[in-house]
Structure 1
């Protein structure tokens, strides 16, 4: 009996590729096996397209991503859900008021760029690129605040 799946073969292959990259980042199958609860043979199956029905459990993803310092599989999962994952800078020591000022400025810049871009009723490629850059700057300002709140220097 064939079970209906929600994603395309290419999307599942993207998860396999991300799994392989994550295992490589932590030093390969043997190294990955030393820092999580399954052995190298099972890890090999998780990254293999020949074992299309076997995917890495979330706790193992968490173990390996913590070791790698990069959310490799998590980013692919987020992409499949039409979401973005961004990293937070931890340990920011600027006063919270400066973070607030930066957030206000970057959001104002984004709103101004959007108003200018929309003034003629259509967005061209240059305007889209400008808006993306402004949006990233605003998101970065917010992420720096996360880091400040997570760090010891939040005042």
Structure 2
């Protein structure tokens, strides 16, 4: 017998749907995870029994910068999710800045390569560009976090 109630399952689907919308929708988020947009929409649909796999939920929480899905799951289990105390950080070094710069340049490289073929961007090329954008966002977010913690 399943342990999750119908109401809990419906609530989880609602949280997943809101989180996907918050990151720009399935078409955007699919570039940062292993699942494509049509499948992502099923995870928010009460008409479909399937739920978002935990690795995809972690991707979603990381991309959003807020552990909304994980926090909701913890709440269903009777736990509160609290952030760890952050140790004071140091300003990003040249290597971190070079890495972030490289990630940003990758966005434009992949975009230019997609256009160079035929002047159009296919679905697969859009997914590749979105993936590069998400990687650049992560790199810039890491640097931003380091700057925010620096003393």
Q: With structure 1 as the length reference, what TM-score do the two structures score?
A: 0.55
Match of 2:106 in 1: none
Q: Who wins on radius of gyration, i.e. which is larger?
A: 1
Evaluate the alpha carbon distance shift between residue 29 and residue 10 of structure 1 in structure 2; reply closer, same or farther with a 3 A threshold. same
2:11 to 10, 14, 25: 14
State whether structure 2 residue 37 is matched by structure 1 residue 40: yes
Indicate the SS of the match to 2:47.
Answer: helix
Q: Partners in 2 of 1:16 and 1:43 — Cα distance?
A: 11
Q: Partners in 2 of 1:21 and 1:84 — Cα distance?
A: 20
> In the TM superposition, what whole-angstrom CA distance separates every residue of 1:115-140 from its partner, at most 9, and x where no partner exists?
xxxxxxxxxxxxxxxxxxxxxxxxxx
How many residue pairs end up in the alignment? 92
Match of 1:68 in 2: 64
Match of 1:58 in 2: 54
Q: Partners in 2 of 1:87 and 1:68 — Cα distance?
A: 15
Match of 1:80 in 2: 76
Q: CA deviation at 1:91?
A: 4.5
Q: CA deviation at 1:152?
A: 7.8
Indicate the SS of the match to 1:49.
Answer: coil
* Unpaired stretches in structure 1, ≥5 consecutive residues: 94-150
* Unpaired stretches in structure 2, ≥5 consecutive residues: 90-148
> In the TM superposition, what whole-angstrom CA distance separates every residue of 1:42-85 from its partner, at most 9, and x where no partner exists?
0000110010x200011111111111000111011101110000
Q: CA deviation at 1:90?
A: 3.1
Does the Cα contact within 8 Å between 1:91 and 1:152 map onto a contact in 2? no
Q: Partners in 1 of 2:5 and 2:25 — Cα distance?
A: 27
Q: With structure 2 as the length reference, what TM-score do the two structures score?
A: 0.56
